[in-house]
Every structure is written in structure tokens, then in C-alpha cells.
Structure 1
Amino acid sequence: MQKKEVSTPQNLQVLYEDNHIIAINKRVGDIVQGDKTGDAPLSDIVKAYIKEKYNKPGNVYLGVAHRLDRPTTGIVVFAKTSKALPRLNKLFAEKDAKKTYWAVVKQQPKKNNETLVHYLKRNTKQNKSYANIKEVPDSKKAILDYTILKKLDNYYLLEINLQTGRHHQIRSQLSGIGCPIKGDLKYGFNRSNTDGGIHLHARKLSFIHPVKKEPLEITAPLPKDPIWDACS
């Protein structure tokens, strides 16, 4: 298996930075916050980058406002100040940030564009969410819009806009219509990617800056591999 490339303070892909926030293009191997693996989380790597870049003494403040699954790539925004963090948290909690994802699937969806509505039930032991057409006990309503952007040789590129933010929502809902994401063994794709990632990328994020109150749109370049190269 190809070794996962992980971010370091030296190779960090910074998409946007000012005094209050910093946006990073997350790699497949990055984990946003620490977990049982004990691997260095992206939040610590960003802190080290800030400390090094600005020669800051003592501890560096960094707040985690949202997350991406470990095998997913793309935009992650952190707060650099205690003023920005609660505002970013509110922005994401109230769905005032428009999130656009790109996903590569092998099966062609039945429609070129569609709004998918499912009821997701999370299994914490499996760390997996199951998509149901009808409401079931302890399920949460999940809504997304997808559009087929491009037909590749053996795959289809979809653009996805989230209306809700649920655990593994895109992965579960696309699997629910028979279109699991390339590399996503957990949700029914038939083989893994060589780097252990999946072809799901947080492509664009649009929101009002939490402090400057100006519109901000951030786009994350695609990872380098033959499938993503064919998408651009």
C-alpha cells in the first residue's frame, strides 16, 4: 500500500490565513483532532507551523471549528483567536457556511442531479452511519444535492452540496443509492485506494468572515493522482 502523505509544519498547504483564521488543504493521512491512534493531529501541526512562522513564544492558540473524516481531503478551517472560534462554531452549527464537495464514484447515478433525503442511523461501534429511506428510531434526517460534473473513463465526478451535516453523510447517502465513493470499503466500494484514502474532497467553502464580516470563498486544489487529475 502506498504510504499516506501527511502534513508537517514545513509542507502544510495553507489556503487562506489572516489574524483570526487559517484554512488548510487536508491530506489523506491527516487527522483533524487527536484520537486513539496517537498520531499527531492536524491541529498540533498547524500550531507548530504558526509558532515557527511567527516565532511565537509559549503556547499557540488554535480552535477546531469543524472536522473532516481521516480518509477525506480538502478544506479545514481553524480559529487563530478566541474571538473567532465561537463565531466559527456558530457559523458551522447553523449551516451558514456553504460546503461543496467533489466525489468520484464508479456507478452512474440514475439522475444527472438530484436532492437525496435519507434518515441516517449511526452505529458507534462500527463508526458507520446507515441510510434509511424512511425515519427509524434514533435516526437523523440528512439532505444533500448532487450533480454529475463529468464522466471519466471508468468513473463519474459528482459535485455535492450539503444541506445538513451528519456523521459520514455523503459516504452513507451515496452508498444508499448504490454509488459508493471510490476507495470507500466501509460503504461498499469493492477495493481500497493505495493510500488508504477515499475520493471525497472538500472542494469549496463559502461563508462570511467571523470577524471582518466580509464574504470569503476558499477553494482547495485537488490531490495529485491520475483520477483527480482527470477531474480538473
Structure 2
Amino acid sequence: MKTRMALVEAIRARVLHADEHVTVVDKPPGLATTRGNGVDVSVYDLRHALDSEYVVHRLDRDTSGVLVLARTAFAANRLNAMFAKKSRMDFTEIMRADMERGDAPSLSNDPVVKTYWALTSNPPPRGARSGWIEAPLTEVGDGDGYSTARLVGGWRVYDAKGGGVVVGTGESMRDKSNDAGSPASKAAMTHFKVLASAGEDGPTLLELTPITGRKHQLRVHLAKALSSPIIGDYKYGFNDRRAPWKSRFTDIESADVESEKESDFWRKLRRASLRGVSKIPLHLHARALQFVHPESGVSTRVVAEPPPHFAAALRAFDLKF
């Protein structure tokens, strides 16, 4: 009961935007979005404390940042349709427009634009500062109620500022989408941009814009296609034994929390997130979300500051941008 009350208090304090139709919160890492295996309490369970009825999209349990809830059925229906909508531009058109500018993706037709920050163990290959990852994905069950995302078939990484040159390519597991009983592969595309890096081989802060919304898309694209796994993402290839800078993460998660009460709260969430194992937490943060307001039709952008462990890591490696 005390833990639930602490979560209610914490989640109310993290409301970023609220009106008659929508609530936007900064979800802390370690708190699941919805109910599931091994989940004691989720944002869905706490929705009434936020005067909301519907959770319209998800963030992974260990991912922090901007999360949208709807207060009315009308808003939920509008928002669900927006989040389900795919980009109306062909991938080739998006990349061409991006390369002409050499910077951010062209997503003017999308009612929802997500921006993430990821702290990776190393920079992208061949000095790429921004570009695209085009790599289809599929989901494979692991037998205990969970699933893993995998690359399927051929994939490519493009350097946007290099005129679209391919800086990475590969072939993953055979595409079995036409085999009976096999899960279909789904197109998946991510735009990346380097914001800061601690040297040629050190931790790197990336800004990510997913064009599609596949399960664990960012985590797999970075680890498998970009060969730059997210720090703390042990599921998809991060290996702290190879990290000479691992010691800098010791007890870093509460380094910038002044309140002892808040510090204790963050430690408990971290233990829940890591299932009691002493490991580095996932450094993936939903930094911003831009969406068309379901009632007014006005484009609304909400930004969330990174959680304590992420912010402390940025300071520890002097990552400024």
C-alpha cells in the first residue's frame, strides 16, 4: 500500500500537461505502462489518480519519458487513431527530403512525432553524425510469456549528411513471413542524430525519431544495425564487462536528487526495473512528443527532462550539446 501511494504521489507530481481531454505525464523508469507478467502496478492502474481513463500508447517498463493518457472516450478514439497511423510518405521520399536538408526527418504529414534520447556505448559507424536505419523486424516468443524483437532479412544504415551513402549493411535471420505459423516481418525505420559523444569510442548521446512504431524498434536498430547498443540494454547486446567506464555508473541513479525521500523512491524503482540485479539501468528516454490535440486540432509538443540516472550520466561524461 505504501509503495502504491508513493507511486500515486510521484506520478501526480510528474504531470507535464493536463486539460479536459488529455493528460501527459513523465513516466519514470521501472514503472510499467500496462498490466502484464511480473507487473505489480502500472500506469494503467494509476490512471484514475491522473483523472484519466485510457492509456493510448506504451513505453517499455525501463524507458522513461513522455506518455499520453486520455480523459474521455472521444479523446481516446482520436489519439488511438493518430498513434496507429503510419507515415503517409514513402521511406525513399522521407530519406530524399532529409538528405536535401541534412538534418531532421520530414514528418509534416504525421499527426504524432516521437523524439527519444538514447545513451549508447559507442558512436555510429564510419563517423556518421545523422542518418537512417532501415531494418525490418519481427517478434519471436521466448516461451515464458515474453517476446523478443529481431532483425529479419536485409538492412541498411544511411548517412544523411554524406549524401545518402550506405555506412552499414547486413543480412539477418531468413525472412519466414510466408512460412506457415511464422510471424510476418514488418518494415521499420529510425532516424538518428548524434548530439554529443565522449570521444571516438566512448558513450554517445543520440536523438532518435522512429518513423514506424515496432516493439523494441529503437533498441534493436541501435544494437544490431548501428552496432551501438544502448547502455543498460542487456537484452539486446549491451555488455558492461567490456566497458572501461562502467565504474562511473556506480550509484549514479540518484546523484542529482536533492530530496532524500525522492532519492529513496528512485532507488526502489531502479531495483524494480532491474529485477533486483545489480546492473546499469537502461538509458532510453522519450524526450518529446508532438501530437494534434484531439479537441482543438492544435499541434501540441510536450518535453520531459531525463531521469536522475540519465542526467547524472550526461554530466559524468561531460556530454554537452
Which of the five TM-score ranges fits, normalised by the shorter chain?
A: 0.7 to 0.9
- The secondary structure found in structure 2 opposite 1:108 is coil
Aligned residues: percent identity?
31
Residue of structure 2 in register with 1:114 after alignment? 131
- The secondary structure found in structure 1 opposite 2:188 is strand
Counterpart among 307, 310, 317 of residue 223 in structure 1: 307
Asked if structure 1 preserves the Cα contact closer than 8 Å seen for 2:117 and 2:205, the reply is yes
Distance across 2 between alignment mates of 1:211 and 1:218: 17
- The secondary structure found in structure 2 opposite 1:9 is helix
Distance across 2 between alignment mates of 1:198 and 1:206: 24
Residue of structure 2 in register with 1:39 after alignment? 40
Residue of structure 2 in register with 1:173 after alignment? 221
Counterpart among 66, 70, 75 of residue 66 in structure 2: 75
Gaps of 5+ in 2: 87-110, 155-173, 178-183, 241-245, 252-269, 275-280
Cα displacement string for residues 90-121 of structure 1 (whole angstroms, at most 9, x for unaligned residues): 01011420000000001210211111100112
| Distance verdict in 2 for CA 1:89–1:7, change over 3 Å | farther
| Distance verdict in 2 for CA 1:185–1:145, change over 3 Å | same
Report the CA distance between 1:41 and its aligned residue.
1.0
Distance across 2 between alignment mates of 1:21 and 1:124: 34
- The secondary structure found in structure 2 opposite 1:44 is coil
- The secondary structure found in structure 2 opposite 1:203 is strand
Asked if structure 2 preserves the Cα contact closer than 8 Å seen for 1:145 and 1:163, the reply is yes
Matches within 5 A, 1:60-209: 62-95=53-86, 96-110=111-125, 111-125=128-142, 127-134=147-154, 136=175, 137=177, 138-152=184-198, 154-176=202-224, 177-191=226-240, 195=270, 196=274, 197-209=281-293
- The secondary structure found in structure 2 opposite 1:11 is helix
| TM superposition score normalised by structure 1 | 0.87
Residue of structure 1 in register with 2:29 after alignment? 28
User: Which is richer in strand?
Assistant: 1
Per mean C-alpha deviation after superposition, the further-off stretch among 145-154 and 156-165 is 145-154
Report the CA distance between 1:43 and its aligned residue.
1.9
Asked if structure 2 preserves the Cα contact closer than 8 Å seen for 1:7 and 1:27, the reply is no
| Distance verdict in 2 for CA 1:119–1:85, change over 3 Å | same
Write out the 4+ residue segments of structure 1 that deviate beyond 6 Å after TM superposition.
none
- The secondary structure found in structure 2 opposite 1:211 is coil
Asked if structure 2 preserves the Cα contact closer than 8 Å seen for 1:31 and 1:40, the reply is yes
Gaps of 5+ in 1: 1-5, 51-60
Per mean C-alpha deviation after superposition, the further-off stretch among 190-199 and 144-153 is 190-199
Report the CA distance between 1:49 and its aligned residue.
4.1
Distance across 2 between alignment mates of 1:231 and 1:73: 19
| Distance verdict in 2 for CA 1:44–1:77, change over 3 Å | same
| Distance verdict in 2 for CA 1:38–1:205, change over 3 Å | closer
Letter in 2 for 1:162: P
Aligned length: 219
